[in-house]
Amino acid sequence: MSAILRTTSRTIVTPVTIVLFVVSTVTGIMLLLHWQAGLVRFSHEWLSVAFSAIAVWHLVRNWTAFIQYFRRNLALGAFAVSLIASVVITGMTGTTSNVSPGAVFRALSAATLETAAPAFGLTPSAAIQTLKAANIDAAANETLNAIGTRAGIGGAGVASLLAAKPAR
């Protein structure tokens, strides 16, 4: 590869790699925290593919250096431990299910207490008592969102209380 092409390649690839790494990291953390996931999921997935393509290009371009690097036992051990940890964590936390807990919480949160209570095995009056025990005022015709907003815990928080502490 000529010196000009090598310099141009590094001049372009390095800043692009930095941007893609930062975007992938920030959007990954946003997805982990379930904050604006709908906004960043698409960009996270596709920009991570672009980042991976650049990483593969970098690996191919520097193959000899990588081979020499992995002749060191410590580097090889770190590689093996991180690979095994990644597989174990993915196995422990991953799922092939298309279940969306967020969609379930949103649907429950938009329902009235009277409608949502049976989903928790409660009558509307038992749900009201459960919330009252948590110092939250509620009426059967209010949505969990309305109750949660007033209590400062949101509709999902009300649903969690109803699921965790049923007053029977």
Is the same domain home to 14 and 72? yes
Q: What is the pLDDT along the chain (168 residues), one digit of tens a residue?
A: 577 766 667 788 888 888 999 999 999 999 888 888 888 889 899 999 999 998 888 888 888 988 898 888 998 899 899 989 988 888 887 777 777 777 777 888 899 999 999 998 999 999 999 999 999 999 999 999 999 999 999 888 899 899 886 544
Instruction: Pick the closest to residue 119 from 97, 154, 56, 110 (CA basis).
Output: 110
Is the same domain home to 23 and 80? yes
Domain containing 22 equals 3-93
Is the same domain home to 134 and 72? no
Backbone φ/ψ region at 152: left (φ over 0), alpha (ψ -120 to 50), beta: left
51, 21 in Cβ contact below 8 A?
Answer: yes
pTM of the model: 0.47
Q: Given 44, 70, 93, which residue is the final one in a domain?
A: 93
Question: How many other CB atoms are there within 10 angstroms of residue 102's CB atom?
Answer: 12
Is the same domain home to 119 and 150? yes
Distance CA 62, CA 84 (A): 24
Residues in the chain: 168
Is the same domain home to 129 and 61? no
